[in-house]
Amino acid sequence: MIDVEDLVDLVRSYNPNSNAGLIRAAYGYGKAMHEGQFRSSGEPYFSHPVEVAWILGEQRMDDATIVTALLHDTIEDTKSTYGEITRRFGDEVAQLVDGVTKLTNLQLGSSETKQAENFRKLLMAMSKDLRVLLVKLADRQHNMRTIKHLPLEKQQRKARETMEIFAPLAGRMGMQHMREELEDLAFHVLNAEGRSSIIRRFLTLRSQTGDLIPKITDDIRQVLQKHGIEAEVAGREKKPYSIWRKMQEKKEGFSRLSDIYGFRIITADIEDCYRVLGAVHQNWAAVPGRFKDYISQPKSNGYRSIHTTVSGRDAKRVEIQIRTRQMHEVAEAGVAAHWSYKDGQRAENPFAVDPFKWLAALTERFESAEDHDDFLESVKLEMFSDQVFCFSPKGEVIKLPRGATPIDFAFAIHTRIGSACVGAKVDNIRVPLWTRLRNGQSVEIITAEGQRPQSTWMDIAVTGRAKSAIRRSLKAERREGSMRLGRELARVAFEQVGKTVSDKALETAARLLGLGDARELLAMLGDAELTGRQVTEALYPELQHDPEAETIDPDRAMVGLSVGQVGEPAKCCQPVPGERIVGITFRGRGVQVHSIDCDTLVDFDDQPDRWIDMHWSDGKHAAEHGTTLEITLANDAGVLGRICTLIGEQNANISDMQFTDKKPDYYKMLVDIQVRDVEHLHNVMTAVEADSGVAQIARHRKAPARD
């Protein structure tokens, strides 16, 4: 176990003014509190808090953070209390220890807890003092280093939690070194064979080519010397998990992977960074599309560096990062650089991000989330994504995650702009909305009045902000549509029992059925979560027909015809049971039966003698009433098959189908189906519309034939 004097010496090495007495007191108190407790490895438990303090000491953290690390498990695991910590070590330390304790109790990765709510609590804890999270990350880092002593099931749970939550958090805070180690330690548990295979391939490569890192390092130094530039050069092999992830993303084998080596060039000032870039590109061919200037466009966590990939010795592609010493310190420590000390003083690094502003920016976009699942999705999307920087026509810089589309860009400007988006121009060229944006592009959003978010946008957008706004709009639109359809279904159901629907009747039915109000009742009717029969049964139980009644003969389905008259459903509107109908007589052609809202009826307004008042027979109808659906669907494999299956599952028969419009990305088609009644039709349409491949569905009404 690390001795207290060694810890004191480490802290004094970067902060000679450190309060050594406070650190010794915390060390002694923590050791006494944990006396008799042991880790799974058999070591004294207090060795763990000391290791956590050492990790934070290596990051040059302040005394309060070091002391918190030594005491971070005392409130939770010993008889120590918040009041005792306050009395001995002050309010600041007590609040930090209490914050770490609360984070530990969140169980962020547990499938048995509500992850989204715990993420919200995590951000709340961080908002009080970000050092709470720094201690927790160091705590997780040491636990992952010693994870082999835990049972296998617990190892896997901790590793998944680390990979999904703590590693991305470290990365989002700019602590890349910690993120890489956490990922690799978790990778070792979750896919030991995959990690071993990467290491074996590295060893094979070395045996074939020798160790290329010192050779390429010397090549770079010679180039810099030739151009009269003084700089530090260091090289390394990428971490196994980083290599594995690139192999999965690019679908390439190890031998074809380009950037398995990384080199850093650290200069004296920004001017030298660009001189180094010029020297490197003069001597080696730059790989197209692999240049990023994070000095002119820094990341939100303060990260600054120039990235370029070149074809170096033996045609091996190598990634080179160019930055100043101060930029390097922030790149290593991230947001934690705000608290780091140097020569006894808080380091005044001009590139260190204010942690409170950083945290405010992170949380601001999630405060308006309507439900916790949306919030969790947004948080994870934000944490896992690298950024691209695009420009508005006015020159405003918009930061977006990698893979973002014009839809994300539009919603990043304003929800109103995103909702009204109908197209986009990238660098003055019209592009599809699913185009992936790249760094430095200028994006112009084209809007139109009356436009609303489309369901297909959910597959195009990648940011949590855009997805949440689209989901809210679609939910509101679906609810309004469901209520309109629900009111029509209610009208039909009331007419079947000889009653007229009214707002008061609907409110009464909603109360009897235990629903909030009439709007909720109508929405449930429209969504097929409630039937019209259930509504009328609640209000008029004595008027209900026998649900077991036999199916009506199709020849007697319509009522109102005289003896000898034959009625045929009009092809223009294709009425089905449950809709109000009227007959129009034709000499020698019998009676055409139309739905009451059919446009054709306008032609007969001045011929009242040809109108016949009709209605559908009460009871259960056979599924033999034809109607046509117009469906717009994505041109993807399997979509058409799924639609046919969905219609069959609703016990509706497909009698014909034809394509009316074929485009590279979507098809339009007409599908003739046979249904029992309007409620059956609604169920079919609802089931089909719910499929992710369906953009739009509606009943097809043909243009009226003129007589």
429 near 368, Cβ under 8 Å?
Answer: no
Q: What angle do CA 329, 330, 332 make, to 5 degrees?
A: 65
Is 566 exposed, middle or buried (CB count within 10 Å of its CB: 0-12, 13-18, 19+)? exposed
The single residue of 6, 35, 76, 427 carrying the catalytic annotation is 76
Which residues are registered as beta bridge partners of 293? 306
DSSP symbols for 315-349: G-EEEEEEEEHHHHHHHHHGGGGGT-EETTEE---
For residue 256, give the H/E element and its range.
none
In sequence order, what are the residues at sequence separation of 6 or more whose Cβ sits closer than 8 angstroms to the Cβ of residue 509?
518, 521, 535, 538, 539
DSSP strand pairing (590-595 vs 567-569)? parallel
- What tokens does 313 get? 């010795």
Lookup result for tokens 């001017």: 271
Cα 674 from Cα 133, distance rounded (Å): 61
Which of these, 299, 303, 202, 321, lies nearest to 260 by C-alpha position?
A: 202
- Beta strands 666-675 and 653-662, pairing class: antiparallel
Instruction: State the burial class of residue 611 (Cβ atoms within 10 Å of its Cβ: 0-12, 13-18, 19+).
Output: middle
Any idea what DSSP says for residue 162? I
CA 357 to chain centre: 23
Q: Is 76 a catalytic residue?
A: yes
Q: Are 494 and 536 in contact (CB under 8 A)?
A: yes
CA distance 11 to 451: 60
Q: How far apart are CA 18 and CA 340, in angstroms?
A: 12
Q: 79-102 burial by CB neighbour count: b if 16+ within 10 A, else e?
A: ebeeebbbeebeebbbbbbbbbbb
Helix H, strand E, coil C: the string for 350-371 is CCCCCHHHHHHHHHHCCCCCCC
Residues 6+ positions from 618 with CB-CB distance below 8 Å: 496, 545
Q: How deeply is 224 buried, as exposed, middle or buried, from its count of CB atoms within 10 A (0-12, 13-18, 19+)? A: buried
Q: What is the C-alpha separation between 34 and 47, in angstroms, rounded?
A: 10
Burial class (CB in 10 A: 0-12, 13-18, 19+), 280: buried
Distance (Å, whole) CA 211 – CA 14:
35
Query: Is 599 noted as a catalytic residue in this protein?
Result: no
Q: Which of 43, 77, 184, 507 is flagged as catalytic?
A: 77
Gyration radius (Cα) of the chain, Å: 34
**Residues labelled as active-site residues:** 76-77
